[in-house]
Amino acid sequence: MKNILFIVGSLRKDSFNRLLAKEAEKYLAGKAEITYLDYTDVPLLNQDIEYPAPAAVVQLRETVAKADGLWIFTPEYNFSYPGHLKNVLDWLSRPVVAYDFATPTVINSKKVALSGAGGQMATGKCREKLTELLTFIKADVMAAPQTGVILNAEAWTEGRMILTDDQRAALKEQADAFVKYLG
Ligand SMILES: Cc1cc2nc3c(=O)[nH]c(=O)nc-3n(C[C@H](O)[C@H](O)[C@H](O)COP(=O)(O)O)c2cc1C
């Protein structure tokens, strides 16, 4: 069975994107093993501390290397991706050995699926820019299908995310497509 590493691009305890990931988990039951990336200890990238890599970064690279694919569930922040997600991807984009640009990084060729819950753009802008970034660092993004959820009114007023049947169906379709994409 393939193993998929879920990356939630929100640090918020009651994150809707985390709930979306939980929902996607259901559609992968029996088809893939799921683990969640914990990147709370990954420091902000500072080239002064890049080599040797901090322990949390070593761990991050090992976790990503072991995964057959990554599925990112992320909110959109100001028509883009959140800074902490960019930080994780920046670390993954750097050579393990200083100036060794010949050896592929762990994100190189890694298959990635994208989803997100947010406002009226359904995180479309975020996913567009994330695709550009991931492609630049040589990840293999599954262009379609992706799941973009426009949060319901209760999510904003009461903190309750209610998915429509169409949104659930889209997530299921994406789960099936990603398992196929992983081969
Ligand atoms: C700094 C910031 C910028 C935001 N910008 C956007 C945006 O551009 N588009 C959008 O749909 N939502 C935006 N939001 C609202 C988020 O969609 C909303 O807070 C959402 O609940 C965050 O996802 P989470 O529940 O997984 O934490 C923004 C929120 C923050 C904190």
Rounded Cα distance between 63 and 32, Å, is: 16
pLDDT at 29: 97
pLDDT at 88: 98
pLDDT at 129: 98
For the domain made up of 2-182, the CATH class stated in words is: alpha beta
Q: Mean pLDDT for the chain?
A: 98
Is the CB–ligand 1 distance for residue 75 below 6 Å?
yes
Report the nearest-CA residue for atom 29 of ligand 1: 77
pLDDT at 57: 98
- Ligand 1 centroid–CA 96 distance in Å is 33
pLDDT at 116: 98
Alpha helix (H) ranges present in the chain? 16-28, 55-66, 83-93, 124-136, 153-158, 165-182
Low-confidence ranges of the chain (pLDDT < 70): none
The answer to whether residues 83 and 115 touch, using CB atoms and an 8 Å cutoff, is no
Residue from 10, 23, 78, 151 whose mutation best tests the ligand 1 pocket (most atoms within 8 A of CB): 78
Report the nearest-CA residue for atom 10 of ligand 1: 119
Is the CB–ligand 1 distance for residue 93 below 6 Å?
no
* Per-domain residue ranges of the chain: 2-182
Is the CB–ligand 1 distance for residue 13 below 6 Å?
no
